[in-house]
Structure formats: C-alpha cells, structure tokens
Structure 1
Amino acid sequence: MSAEEITLTAGDAEVTVQPGNGGRVGGVRVGGLELLRQGERFGCFPMVPWCGRIRDGRFRNGAAVHQMPLNAPPHAIHGTTRDGAWKVARRSADEAVLTYDLVEPWPWPGRVTQIVALTADSLTLTMGVEAHDSSFPAQIGWHPWFNRNLGDRDVQVAFEPAWQEERGDDHLPTGNRIEPKPGPWDDCFGMPGGVDVTLTWPGQLELKVTSGEEWAVVYDEQEAAVCVEPQTGPPNGLNTLPRLVTPLEPLEATTTWSWTRL
C-alpha cells in the first residue's frame, strides 16, 4: 500500500498519519482546532525500540555491548523508527495499521506494528514489538508535541505522580526517586496506577493522556509546545530496566487521548 499521508475522520475529529515520516501522527484536529505542533519533526512520533536517551548510546544484551549512533551527543535518543518509512498494512475511515521492520543500526531483526484508531472523542495508539529469532531488550513510547496555546491562554498540565526520577547533569535518571518538583520539566515521572495526565486549554478543550504503563516524560521547556510521553520504562531503560522481547513474547503498549470541548 502507498505510504502517503492518511487522513482519518470520526465526528468532528480529523487525524493525519504520516507513514513515510517515521510513522508519526502529523495532526489531530478537533472541531478545527489543531492540537499538535506542526512541522516535519513534530506531531507525535513513536519512540521504539527505545525511549529517550541511552547513556553514551551503549547498552548490553547479555554479555554483548551494543553501540547506537549518537544522534543527541553524547547520547542516542528516541529509537530508530522515527527517521524511517513505515508500511501501511491496512486502513479504514477511522483506523490505520502501520508496520516497520527493524533494520541497522538496530542489531536484531524484528517488526513494530502501530495501530492508530480514532473515535469522535478519542485517539488510541497501540504499538507492539516482535522478535523474529533472537531476543532483545526494547522500549515503546510516544512523543507528542501538543501546542502550548490554542487561543489566548497557555495550556495547564495536571498530574499526580508517585515519584519523579532524579535527573542528573547529563539529563539521565540517576536511579534516585524524589518527591515531584514543580516545572519547568524535562523529567520522567512514575505513576504505578497508569499514566494519567490532563492538559487543559482554558475555554477551548480538555485532553486526558492515559496509558496502562507507569512511566511518562513531561517536557515543557520549549515555548511552542508541551510534551507528555507515555512509555514502558524510564530514559536509559535499556540499561536500567530492560524489558525483553522474545519470539514468543512481544512487547505491547497503548495510550489513549480523550478530549472534551470546553
């Protein structure tokens, strides 16, 4: 199937999917309001087979050390699939299924599947990573760039994490869990009951980002956008909290954005 941009519609919601641009969601419009920052590197991209930074781009699988390209020196960041072209497995008016076959520099063959499903008041993103023959550690996450402003007032971000990962000078978690601090943030938070973050654009729209996963990075240091990133582990998690994908056991995760007009 063609990898050109796909438009999904449901009610007054419209979502664009860009298979050829890293499998990202390029836009989410609700009643004409565009929720995502526009641009080739923005929207919402899948982070896989790892999320955030890997320290020095290196991680272990058993005794072997693997080196990823340092695309955020001195670290590697956000996986390999956001720079590739995904294939369209199937599509309908309100759903698209994309696949991406893992290739170098990732050392192991495998397949990523992402389902983008739209309803009139929600968008659900589901992703799975399968190993073909050899097992490997992996992470899944999403990196949405929500517009900071949809009118004349900035978005308000509300969440109640159980802890914040202490961030070192290298922007990576130190391994210490601390009491959550006020922003601005480029920080990872733990929510054992599942990710639950509410973004409110006063007088415009309320959006809830939820996921069964217990980790989220919140990034609000840019003027134009705010990021709420559900993921299956913390930054540098391939080293500190590896989740093994085996030929019998894929890694799967889901996030849902649900909205209400105000």
Structure 2
Amino acid sequence: MTTPLITLEDAHSRLSLAPGLGGAIANWQLLESGQPLLRHADASALAAGTPRRLGCYPLAPWSNRIGNGGFALPDGWLTLEPNTTNDPLPIHGSAWQQPWEVLEQADGRVRLGLESREPFAYRAEQEFRLAAGCLEISLKTTHLDERPIWHGLGLHPYFPRTPATRLLAHAESAWLCGADKLPTAQVGLPPAWDFAEGAALPEELVDNGFSGWSGTCSILQPDLGYRLACSARGCDTFLLFCPQDQPFFCFEPVTHPVNAHHLQGRPGLRLLAAGETLEITWRMAVMPLTSR
C-alpha cells in the first residue's frame, strides 16, 4: 500500500506527514546526516497502515485507556467498545484511526483537519510549523455533539533510544498501575523515575503517567550528537512508555492521567458544550548536545 506523504523542510530538518494514516508524522530527520529525530518509519512501517508504526500521532478526544466500558456524562452514560485487537480497553480516542484532510499548506506550515462522528461528534485540527530546527504542533478539538462531553488531548511521539539516552523532566508524582494498565494509586516519584536532574531511562518496562509536570523536558542523545528541548502548553501530565529491548521510547504530553474519566475530580479533562474548544501545543527544538 502506498501512503501519500506531505513534506516540509527548513534549513536543518525534513518533516514527512501521513494525513491518511491518522494525521500522523511519518518521519522527522536532520537534513545533513539523515539522523531520525523521531523513530524512523521505513517503507514497511508505512505499508503497515497504522500510525503505531510511525513517528507520532494525535490523541483525541482522550489519551490512553478508559475502563468500565465507558464514562458518565452529566445526563447519562457514554458506552465505549475496545478499538484495537490487542487491548481489551478503548485507547487513545478515535482521531488516530481515521484519515485526516489537508486544510492548508504554505511555506513551513501544514494544517490538517478531521470531522469525526465516533465516539461522538467533534472536529479536530492539527497545525505543524517547522522553522530553524524547531517543530511546533498544535492540536485542538471542537465539540459538535448536542450533549456536553468530557474531552482530553495528547500527542504520542516515539523517540530513538540508545543505551546513552537520558531524559530531563520534572514531575511531582507518578501513577502506579494494575495488571489492566489502569492507575491504582498516585505516589511520590520512585528514585528510578525521577528525571528532574536528568537520568537514564529505566531498563524495566515503564508504561505510567506522571503529574505535576512543569511542561518542559529535554531528551539528551549523546550517542547521536544532539538534544531535543521540548515544551508543552495546556499539559501538566506526561506518559512515559519504555518497552523492554526496543530502540525507542515514548514521552507523551497529555492533558490528563490515564482513566481520568473515572478518577476523583476528572483531573485534566474539560467538559465541552457544543462549539467549545480544547487546545494544546507541543514544541521540539533540535540543537547540538554541547549547547545544553
């Protein structure tokens, strides 16, 4: 299967988008060396036809898993079915499983859009801006359903991982999970999960949320000769996914913890009425590691 791509370039990097595959980023790489800044998607990854094999995809109208078969609305219940074959819970919303349209393309900028009816009516937009080695992604949803419904947003980038990769990110707490990967308790940071001063990624599996995030992080790649200085607006939570024995990890800026629809106070979620909008922005700037 051939996947049509849209390409943006600046003086330092090239960005390839796959609107038809969930509005995903296929690749982002340095021009001079070809070094991938996100997990590289080769021809077989593109042919697989899923954003989960690509560099980054949008999470809307929620992030990660929701338990209990759905969630409560102010006036009833929204039933949700599993939306993948390998997970018993609905995960990551519906935007990543639908083709997006190109709404606008100009120098250094592309805007994509999606009109969704599942699991309720909403409009999503992404805008990508690339300049001077900095990629900025804005993601927003506008609620179109007659019923007010809870919304959450996030992005799911995959980053290269080597034995030397380090993460610099400050958070106040972490969420422990049960066998179903839903949170069971919010705790202070275990030492192996404290990245406030910069630390190597854990060797064991991590698939957990972190709250009280400052909104900034740095991904240090000494083996690859660069770092990414990242910042988010509209997010105070991140999800960290470190699968074992894989050459990638995920640092996901999100508005809410996993299963927030069933947590006390629904942290990070927004109850939107028809016409109301929720938006986040994520910036990643590449620079030589020596400039830290």
Tell me the TM-score normalized by structure 1.
0.90
Which residue of the other structure, out of 129, 132, 138, is the alignment partner of 2:151?
138
Deviation at residue 249 of structure 1 after TM alignment = 2.5
Provide the C-alpha distance between the structure 1 equivalents of 2:137 and 2:144, rounded to a whole number of angstroms: 23
Matched residue, 1:256: 283
Which residue of the other structure, out of 208, 229, 232, is the alignment partner of 2:252?
229
Matched residue, 2:92: 78
Answer whether contact 1:110 1:131 (CA < 8 A) is retained.
Answer: yes
Provide the C-alpha distance between the structure 2 equivalents of 1:193 and 1:161, rounded to a whole number of angstroms: 6
Provide the C-alpha distance between the structure 1 equivalents of 2:83 and 2:97, rounded to a whole number of angstroms: 14
Answer whether contact 1:161 1:190 (CA < 8 A) is retained.
Answer: yes
Amino acid at match of 1:142: L
Per-residue displacement from partner, 1:172-196 (whole Å, max 9, x unpaired)?
11242332441342111113432x2
Q: Superposition RMSD on alpha carbons, in Å?
A: 1.9
Provide the C-alpha distance between the structure 2 equivalents of 1:192 and 1:158, rounded to a whole number of angstroms: 11
Which residue of the other structure, out of 186, 192, 200, is the alignment partner of 2:207?
186
Answer whether contact 1:130 1:246 (CA < 8 A) is retained.
Answer: no
Which residue of the other structure, out of 187, 199, 220, is the alignment partner of 1:200?
220
Matched residue, 2:56: 44
Task: Give me the identity figure in percent.
Answer: 26
Secondary structure of the structure 1 residue equivalent to 2:238 = strand
Counterpart check, 1:121 vs 2:133: yes
Matched residue, 1:4: 4
Deviation at residue 208 of structure 1 after TM alignment = 2.1
Amino acid at match of 2:219: L
- Deviating above 3 A after TM superposition, structure 1's stretches of 4 or more consecutive aligned residues are none
Answer whether contact 1:57 1:74 (CA < 8 A) is retained.
Answer: no
Deviation at residue 253 of structure 1 after TM alignment = 0.6
Tell me the TM-score normalized by structure 2.
0.81
Answer whether contact 1:166 1:178 (CA < 8 A) is retained.
Answer: no
* Structure 2 residue ranges without an equivalent (≥5): 47-52, 193-201
Q: How many residues matched?
A: 254
* Structure 1 residue ranges without an equivalent (≥5): none
Counterpart check, 1:55 vs 2:81: no
- 1:208-219 aligned within 5 A: 208-212=229-233, 213-219=235-241
